[in-house]
Amino acid sequence: MQQIMITGSNRGIGLALVKEHLQRGDVYIFATCRNPDTATDLQTLASENPDALTIVALDVNDSDSIESAKNQVASQTEQLDLLINNAGIFPRTPENEALGKMTHDALGHVLMTNSVSPVIVTQAFVDLLKNGNNPRVVMVSSQMGSIERASGGSMSYRVSKAALNMVAKVLSGMLSPQGITVITTHPGWVQTDMGGSSATLTPEQSASGLATVSANLTSADTGKFYSYDGSEMPW
């Protein structure tokens, strides 16, 4: 049985990843989200799958919350096989990212959530991952973090996802002696609150691709940047 933890799993791609892995079966999922009390879709899934799903409170920007989540997961298992760092934000105020409008606080908050917090979350769960079967860490990044494809606009998001890609690369080196594979991914353009209704993929299509990529990983993949369809992405 695979033991999986997913951040930001109350909606969007994270929720679809929970459903996809439940459908595939033989899993136990720690589905994390900021507010379990209002995570009604997750609550329904948990009541339908009491032997396969626990909801865990986790705000990835809060070190106390990370510590509590780690303690809750560690009270139920000694191992994690797959950690998916999915939680992320895309600022909805492009006017604040025009020249002359950018601030330390606004840019810093996006960097904190999308780039720094995945480091701190992964660090907290390394002890459980070390005990996992073919342990893997999957970052949900974006093609917008690809420097080769970058153009103007969306400063904070692009920078944060480029940094997340480097996080995956650096962690892949730090964690390979412990047998932990780390990759970064592009989930496609997906119909979620973030991606909008014009996006080309449903959350189910994206999650299915990401789950297949995650399932097929070996240590030879560590440090790579994959699309949801399994192709390699340009850095």
The residue ranges that bind ligand NAP (CB under 6 A) are: 7-8, 10-14, 33-35, 58-61, 86-90, 113, 140, 142, 187, 189-190, 192-195, 199
CB of 89 to ligand NAP, least distance (A): 5
The nearer residue to ligand NAP, 119 or 131, going by C-beta atoms, is 119
Which one, 77 or 227, has the nearer CB to ligand NAP? 227
Q: List C-alpha distances in Å: 80 to 2, 64, 130, 202, 203.
A: 8, 20, 8, 28, 24
- Which residue, 140 or 217, has its beta carbon nearer to ligand NAP? 140
CA dist 182 and 235 (Å) reads: 15
Catalytic residue (one of 28, 157, 226, 228): 157
Between the CA of residue 9 and those of 5, 33, 113, 181, what are the distances in Å? 9, 6, 15, 22
Q: In terms of CB distance, is 43 or 176 closer to ligand NAP?
A: 43
157 is catalytic: yes
161 carries an active-site annotation: yes
Minimum separation from the CB atom of position 68 to ligand NAP (A): 13
Structure tokens at 117: 């917090």
User: Shortest approach of ligand NAP to residue 207 CB, angstroms?
Assistant: 10
**Taking the complex as a whole, how short is the minimal distance between the CB of residue 183 and ligand NAP, in angstroms?**
14
Distance of CA 114 to the CA centre of its chain: 9
CA–CA distance, 62 with 166 (Å, rounded to integer): 22
Q: Which residue matches tokens 């103007």?
A: 152
Identity of residue 86: N
| Catalytic residue of the set 161, 224, 226, 228 | 161
**Catalytic residue ranges:** 157, 161
